[in-house]
Chains A and B, each alone.
Chain A
Amino acid sequence: MGAIEQAAGLVFQWDVLVTIFFAAVFGMFVGAIPGLTATMAIALLVPVTFFMDPIPAVGAMVTCAAMAIFAGDIPGTLLRIPGTPASAAYTDEAYAMTRKGEAEKALGANLLYSALGGLVGTAVLIFAAPHLAEVALRFSSTEYFWMAMLGLTCAAFISSGSPIKGLVSLLIGLSVATIGLNNPAGQPRFTFGHTEMMGGIDFIAAMIGLFAVSEILRNAAGGARNLPVPQVPIGNPLRGWGTMLRTYWRQQIRGNVVGVGVGALPGAGADLAAWIAYAMSRRFSKNKEKYGKGHVEGIVEATSANNAAVGSAWVPALVFGIPGDTITAIVIGVLFVKGLNPGPTLFVFNPQNIYAIFLIFILANLIMIPLGYLAIRAGRQLLRIPRRIIMPVILAFCMVGAFATNNAVFNIGIMLAFGILGFFMEDNGIPVAPCILGIVLGGMVEQHFITTMIRSDGELLAFFGRPIAAGLGIVTLLIWVTPLVVWLRRLQRGSAAAPEPSGPGTA
């Protein structure tokens, strides 16, 4: 029996399909509630997946992520509050459409192009990943070191508004990763004599803290008030799909390409893809003057991009074990727990599992259309869910989730500490995402760094001794040097007093 038939056998089982369905509904809910992000939905899902088999567990996360990214467009369109950071790029545009009474057209476009973008991203994942895996099989620790560095560099420098603060966030994450026994020397580091710290900081607990608890604190700080529900009629979102598909196919393809490219870059994800696609759409459009006043063109391109990125972000995650965004960072953590260690060998030894994940991707994007249709029709009711009741229950879920990772109350303390840290970082404009990637990749970076150093007897040039490694290394160093040069030149001109640009991906 071939791997694809085996994969179908793994996926088309009642328990798997039911799990996927519930995960989809859950993702839809969480994504649609403003203030709850797609990453938070995934983080809350983790403790539930612990008892599941690997395939339904991964399937639940894939579906939940795709759904939450789409559902984030609903509050963005109706309330001008993006449900997830990935929708932020075109929230103003979509809200302007709502004010013109075209809410259903905006949401319909979001749904259609989210699903199509997701399918394109999946197609790229299916075709690119196995080929890349063959290349990756020949990688040594030097290449892995640079791949991880490239991912971390992109996360710190490109996807955050202020490169320095992105770097600070990354360093915090890497430092957290050094805690415990898990290092090449097997030496307990920064444990302060606690046996609980020997195993290192539990990544899931830290994650729940950074993404969920800090958001709960943020909501509580604002009083967890209910939002004004807009009194706009929402018609049939399916109307106008035919016209849109004919008019905007160029924008769609361009958005897909941008999304796939940005998503596949280790360390950059859907948020950044949407911002770039929206800006590009505006630059190349014949109707520039209509942008920002409720014009669907930019939305088509940006929403095509962010969902395509969700799929292609899995390419570096599955092939190299290097997450493309915070969502895949969590999924990598879960894959390790399930014994499906990401990396090229996964493609060689367990191809049926990989194909099963691909199948689930396709299913997730297909199920999005009917569920998304219902969610849009129920959009106003979804927004009426009282946040002041949701927040306490979510905190309780967070605490149980942190506890469940290894049944230690100590982890709830870790969760709280990272919740406060995340809250403080957000207040100070330090992005959280690089910190997460740092925690996930810290061990890998150090291990490959030390291995290469030992093999070369401390010769630093060994990092550029192989062609692929040299290429990756030079790209990484260029990204490092550029902001420093820009900063120094700005300092010379004395214009450093200008306010820092607040870019995308700060959420």
Chain B
Amino acid sequence: MRLNDALLGVLLFGVAIALFLGSRGFPSIPGQQIGAGAFPTVLSAGFALCATILVISGLRSRLPAIVWMDWTREPNGIRNVVVIIALVIFYIAFARQLGFMLTMAPIIFVMLRLFGVGWLASLAIAVIAVLGMQYIFGRFLLVPLPWGLLAPIRWW
């Protein structure tokens, strides 16, 4: 999804305003004229400048407002992107309760199926990958991956 430069400029102008308003409330360092708000204010001015230039060049370019990139015309392109984002959100929501392995295995499985890998192969890869990662990261690299429901059968 490629926005016209003018549209992108409007979007950035919004960012500039939000940044400016957000940084007005910061108190200054006692005894100084300068404080926590100074730097974000400079940044918001930068955003406003870029936004202005983009709006002008976008309006002059006469390109359509939104150009749909090639990937949106791929069969399943949009579906794949949306599903992957949803899968990561699924992990964030359930990893603590279900544990690393029970959340990650379905994620890998669904993704493999999405890309057209066979049922059996997907299942095998998902299980092996999850077991391997839990072992390498959990045991060897000391990352405290949650065990969740599987905690009672934890083997180390």
Contacts and interface: CB of A to CB of B under 8 A. Distances in A.
A404 to B, nearest CB: 4
Nearest to A52: B141
A409 B96 contact: yes
Contacts of A6: none
Given A168-B50, A171-B47, A416 B85 contact: yes
A167 B94 CA distance: 38
A427 B80 contact: no
A220 B108 CA distance: 13
B65 interface: no
Nearest to A168: B50
Given A48-B141, A389-B117, A427-B1, A187 B85 contact: no
A175 B133 contact: no
A14 interface: no
Contact of B29 (A184, A392, A412): A184
Contacts of A395: 84, 87-88, 107-108, 111
A446 B43 CA distance: 11
Given A412-B91, A416-B85, A416-B89, A497 B60 contact: yes
Interface range, B side? 35 or more
A474 to B, nearest CB: 20
A44 to B, nearest CB: 12
Interface stretch (A320-328, A342-350, A360-368, A450-458): A450-458
A395 B1 CA distance: 23
Given A187-B26, A220-B80, A427-B69, A409 B92 contact: yes
A221 interface: yes
A174 interface: yes
A423 B71 CA distance: 12
A388 B8 CA distance: 33
Contacts of B39: 178, 183, 446, 449-450
B81 A404 contact: no
A388 B121 CA distance: 12
Contact of A396 (B57, B76, B108): B108
Interface in A463-507: 487, 491, 496-497
Contacts of B22: 189-190
A35 B145 CA distance: 28
Nearest to A405: B143
B117 A185 contact: no
**What interface size band does chain A fall in?**
35 or more
Given A393-B108, A454-B34, A220 B81 contact: yes
Interface in A170-208: 171, 174-175, 178, 183-185, 187, 189-190
A403 interface: yes
B116 interface: yes
A247 interface: no
A222 B77 contact: yes
B141 A404 contact: yes
B57 to A, nearest CB: 6
A189 B36 contact: yes
Contact of A407 (B2, B36, B62, B144): B144
Given A187-B27, A404-B141, A223 B88 contact: no
Given A420-B85, A428-B2, A491-B56, A168 B104 contact: no
A428 B12 contact: no
Most buried by A among B3, B43, B81, B130: B43
Contacts of A220: 80-81, 84, 111, 114-115
B50 A396 contact: no
A223 B74 contact: yes
B154 to A, nearest CB: 18
B84 A400 contact: no
Interface string B46-82: 1100100110110011100000010110111110110
Interface in A381-402: 388-389, 391-393, 395-397, 399-400
B19 A175 contact: yes
B115 A221 contact: no
A220 B87 CA distance: 13
B125 interface: yes
Given A167-B46, A413-B92, 12 more contacts: A51-B142, A164-B50, A388-B117, A392-B107, A399-B88, A404-B137, A409-B96, A420-B85, A424-B1, A428-B3, A454-B29, A497-B60
18 contacts: A171-B43, A175-B40, A178-B40, A187-B27, A217-B81, A217-B84, A223-B77, A388-B116, A392-B126, A396-B107, A396-B130, A399-B88, A404-B141, A416-B88, A446-B39, A449-B38, A453-B38, A497-B60
Interface of A: 47-48, 50-51, 164, 167-168, 171, 174-175, 178, 183-185, 187, 189-190, 213, 216-218, 220-224, 388-389, 391-393, 395-397, 399-400, 403-404, 407, 409, 412-413, 415-416, 419-420, 423-424, 427-429, 446, 449-450, 453-454, 458, 487, 491, 496-497
